[in-house]
Chain A
Amino acid sequence: MSQEQQTGLLLLGVGGGGCRLAAAVRSAYGSGIRALGVDTDALSNRTASEGGMTCLLLGGSRLAGHGTGGDAIQGRMAAQDDIQNLLPHLQGVRTVVITACLGAGTGGGATPEIVKTLHDMGIATVCFVTRPFAFEGEARRKAAERVLPMIEENADSLVVVPLDDLFGDAGGGLLSDAVQVAEGLMAAGITMLWRVLSKPGFIRLDPERLHAMVLRGGNARFGYGSAEGSDRAAHAFEALRSSRLLRAGDALSKANALLLGILAGRDLRLAEIGDIMGQVRVACKGDCQIEMGTVLDAQYDGRIELVALAFESWTASVQLPASESRKEAAAPAAEPPVAEAFPIQPGSRKSKAKASKLSFGATGRGKFQNVEPTIYKGEDLDVPTFIRRGITLDR
């Protein structure tokens, strides 16, 4: 068994944007990463394949490789058509990290379907999904928002990254470069996470730890920061804490569990780890479950990079009320500029998913109210399919 198979981790890019992200992570990480792309567009699939990543075409018989044209329903059905083609690639996989860009057809339509299948198979899923830029328009924003609860319903862990936040970190590039810059930054973050998980370190943060964490973690926020030179530990943490992805420290202070990776060169000092962890403890709640790991690699000599996954609805930990003073101290007055950022309430995953189903206006069995139900693989087929599949109707 190769090293990439031993980890039990698979990086799965869904849709054009998701595949680009996965390919970027793959090229940044180098060999040894187990990555796969799925898309309905044969052309973008070919581009991704040229980079050496395996790409599967979804909905070939339905869409003839022309893509969905932004129709999420087509994306969903394409995934249903060809979901079986994915199964041979899942051997030995315990955790799948999915990357997708919401707002368009394949990313928005196929992702919930794939997540559901993986969930049914008992494979843990961590979804890194991006919300479209504000300038992409209201329609795309709404399309993305419609899909989020469907992904949330079955994903073990969902990380929503508003592209606007990434763009802010990018320091304001050209508008035309915005997507590439933002995706590049996101890919860099995921690559760091992947390194922490797969490269051996003195304090190991292995895929099993991630598996256990995401199974109970729920929604998460993700961020990273790096620094070099003197006092690099403090600066790296400050960069991480103040990153817009972690909502300028807000995500850390609200996190019930934190997965922190420290990537550094062989010159990492014990005092620096102590320094970082000290600051983490201050920034986080007292009862926050912190899992830390280090990776020592010559390529990081002179530098420290931190990557964090902050889980906001950690269900295993006992929910102790945080002290008021800490709350006040930790929650900064400066709310990040992205005011419409996806609101995540601790412990609300399943209830929210149910609410989204109710919004279709019709649930229940109608005519088949008092007859013996037709149950197939645990599903009551008498309940309308569009309700069970969470399909939103264009009224």
Chain B
Amino acid sequence: MAIPPIAALEIGTSRTVMCVGETDENGRVKITGVGTYPTIGVRKGQVIDLNQARVGVESASKQAEKQADVSIWQVLLATSGGHIQAGVNPGMLTIRSNDHVVSHEDVEEVTENAKEIQIDADRQVLHTITQSFTVDDQPGIVKPEGMRCKVLTLNVMAVHGLKNRIDNAVSVAKSAQLDVTDVAFSGVCAALAVLTPEQRRNGVVLVDLGGGTTNYIAYCNNVISAVGCVAVGGDHVTNDIALAFNIPLNRAEEVKRAEGSAVIDAESGGRRVTLRGEVGFEEKVISCKALHTVINARMDETFRVLRSKLDEAGVLPHLGAGIILTGGGAYLRKVTDLAHRVFGLPCRIGLPVNVDGLEAVEQPASFSSAAGLALYGRMTYEDRGLFAPVKNIFKGWFGR
């Protein structure tokens, strides 16, 4: 079955990305078209101005269409924001057969039970992720079929967000004449693109450092154990710099990219950076150490918030593969060193290795979630994945 090209749209806080992914004969997704445009009208992942946000979508869409030589009218949409939450819902079933052997029907029934999630009326479920079965009192069972037990329990993690926030993002796409077929959480998409099966087995946390939000997803023993979003991102770093040195946001962004560092080190001491003057902006000299102090304080805090959230979820002791950073924020100098210090775990930058075609782009890690969304689209299109390398991991793990 030939799979048509999939268009993945991410309306990020700092830029809008449209990726067109095509599936090759080996089942791998290759990004054939990429369009990006600076976003205006989005703060912390949430749309605050529909019209301004639409401009970004239209421009990114045009670029991607041209590059991939396709016409886009249907898209998948990645969403994020502080409203995204995840909760575990257990489903239980008493095995009624006389021999107490779990049948395929029992597994299906308990899955249905677990997916009946009680959430507030104003929230919408984005993903239901199957975790593991508990057979009587034995947890961590992957395939319970054929086992003997009286009570079968299945834990399902539901990722959900506020309906109106998600609808706002959908409206932006609609206003740009694009039909949204599915909405996914950016953090989940990034994990699809970046994490290798081995990392998932060993236990890993993927931290997607975005412009307005920081998404995280933790795997323990191949199971998604924690998902969430903190509405703090690169924009906050820029804002902090702008306020600290009394400079405009665009100059703060420039100096962050050129001279920023997440760690205050010997190199920062005594050095000063000159911000060249232009019309309406007088030349200014700022201390490198002060700049790094401002960035360090923010990044350190963000990582600490994540650490406490992961600690609450009880995943910190199970992270053999450490921390993987992706997203635009991962290119901040020495950010891996800081994460290593805060989490006390090995840390490195993760690129979207499960997707081809991004070799030539600059800073590929900042395309992780959009590329992962294309992959997600391919998997859901095929009704829960059939191709390597992701098929075994995600078979049956995603549903709507």
Question: Which residues of A are in contact with B by a Cβ distance under 8 Å?
Answer: 61-62, 73-74, 77, 80-81, 360-368, 371-372, 374, 376, 381-382, 384-387, 389, 391, 393-395
Contacts and interface: CB of A to CB of B under 8 A. Distances in A.
A359 to B, nearest CB: 13
Contact of A394 (B236, B243, B290): B290
Nearest to B238: A367
B235 A367 contact: yes
A366 B243 contact: yes
B231 interface: yes
Nearest to B264: A73
Contacts, number: 93
Interface string B339-379: 00110100000000000000000000000000000000000
B100 to A, nearest CB: 45
A366 B242 contact: yes
Interface of A: prevailing SS? loop
B317 to A, nearest CB: 14
Interface stretch (B29-37, B60-68, B298-306): B298-306
12 contacts: A77-B300, A81-B341, A81-B342, A364-B243, A367-B239, A367-B249, A368-B236, A371-B43, A371-B48, A374-B232, A381-B301, A386-B298
A323 B82 CA distance: 58
Contacts of B179: none
A74 B342 CA distance: 14
B244 A385 contact: no
A192 B199 CA distance: 58
Q: Top 5 A-B pairs ranked by shortest CB distance?
A: A384-B240, A362-B243, A385-B297, A393-B290, A374-B231
Given A77-B300, A80-B300, A374-B44, A386 B293 contact: yes
Contacts of B305: 376, 381
B123 to A, nearest CB: 16
A17 B244 CA distance: 33
A368 B243 contact: no
B344 A61 contact: yes
Contacts of B230: 374, 376, 381
B158 interface: no
A116 to B, nearest CB: 14
B46 interface: yes
B298 A384 contact: yes
A281 to B, nearest CB: 50
Given A367-B238, A381-B301, A395-B287, 7 more contacts: A73-B264, A74-B264, A360-B244, A385-B240, A385-B301, A386-B298, A389-B301
Contacts of B344: 61
A81 B307 CA distance: 11
Contact of A393 (B231, B236, B244, B298): B244
Contacts of A368: 43-44, 236, 239
A392 to B, nearest CB: 9
Nearest to A363: B243
Contact of A367 (B82, B242, B294, B300): B242
B319 to A, nearest CB: 16
A271 B300 CA distance: 61
B289 A394 contact: yes
B98 interface: no
Contact of A386 (B231, B232, B240, B304): B240
Given A371-B46, A384-B239, A393-B290, A361 B246 contact: yes
A374 B298 CA distance: 14
Interface string B42-66: 0110101000000000000000000
Contacts of B342: 81
A387 B242 CA distance: 13
Nearest to A386: B297
Nearest to A373: B231
B271 to A, nearest CB: 11
B293 A394 contact: yes
Contacts of B243: 362-364, 366, 384, 387
B399 to A, nearest CB: 30
Contacts of A376: 230, 305
Nearest to A365: B239
Query: Which of A73, A366, A381, A385 gathers the greatest number of chain B CB atoms within 10 Å?
Result: A385
A60 to B, nearest CB: 10
